[in-house]
Structure 1
Amino acid sequence: MAPLPPPSPLPEFVYKIAPTAPPDPIPEQYPLSELDQQDGFVHLSVSWQIPITAGLFFKDTQSFYILKLRLANFDPSAVKWDEVDGTNGCPHLYGNFGVKDVVAVREFRRGEGQSWEEVLEGEKGWLE
């Protein structure tokens, strides 16, 4: 992973895909996934990356949850924009997030033979 400068303008929101429903209520410190613990940062996406991330890492999953996080809540030095597999600027949060950062949570499901890209195509308003 090579660090990149942050995008300009910065997006208002970044997103965390979770394979299961988040805790209810969402805690002050969100429980980190094994991957996030192992890598030392929280894997996030910007809106246009969600279908790509879902297609790569959730291709065998029929449903997942997306947590919508307000980027301005994080110290800019805690968010690194890394190049991953040629993808420009994947946001990685070196720290954690919690209830104060979560703007919304939604479950997404796909039907038989449906791609995540097809499911998420109609969600451009929510995925800002």
Structure 2
Amino acid sequence: MPAPSPPPTYLYKILPSAPRSPLPPRLPLSDLDRTDGYIHLSTSAQVPGTADKFFGAAAELWLLKIKYEVLAVGTDGDGTVKKEGSAEVRWEEVGRGCFAHLYGADLGEGNVEEVLRVKREGTWGESLELEW
């Protein structure tokens, strides 16, 4: 499935706890990402629903903010650009929408722009204001 048009400026990875600081070149995969064989990502519009569905009981979350164009060219977690086709973002239909999945690369200091700590106040939708 093609990327949304226009593509988002940022994608987000939701984490239930703080990542190591400073970020390493390769963050460990979640159990879900390891099982599925790709890294689950969300657009700013998708983060609140995903957070409510999978992290509804959490009082705080950590978000990795990643420029879409950095991932789209195949930038790995260590900052190297992999050869064409070996690292890619695929937009795939999932029951409740079209989501970005990162194949063949890791997240880390070389492709994560910012780490955001977010405290829940009400629903995640009421607590989150993210850049598209």
Normalising by structure 1, we get a TM-score of 0.85
Query: Unaligned 5+ residue runs, structure 2?
Result: 75-84
Supply the AA of the counterpart residue of 1:99: E
- Residue in 2 that maps onto 1:91: 100
- How many Å apart are 1:101 and its aligned residue? 1.1
Task: Flag the structure with higher helix content.
Answer: 1
SS at match of 2:113: strand
- Residue in 1 that maps onto 2:124: 116
Decide which of 24, 30, 36 is 1:33's aligned counterpart.
30
Supply the AA of the counterpart residue of 1:42: I
Normalising by structure 2, we get a TM-score of 0.83
Supply the AA of the counterpart residue of 2:101: H
- How many Å apart are 1:127 and its aligned residue? 2.6
- Residue in 1 that maps onto 2:21: 24
- Alignment size in residue pairs: 118
The 2-side partners of 1:52 and 1:116 are apart by 8
Structural mapping, 1:1-128, within 5 Å: 4-74=1-71, 75=73, 77=85, 78-87=88-97, 89-94=98-103, 95-111=105-121, 114-120=122-128, 123=129, 126-128=130-132
Supply the AA of the counterpart residue of 2:102: L
Query: Unaligned 5+ residue runs, structure 1?
Result: none
For 1:18-37, what per-residue CA distance to the aligned partner results, in whole angstroms no more than 9, with x for missing partners? 00001111011121111111
**Runs of 4+ displaced beyond 3 Å:** none
SS at match of 2:46: helix
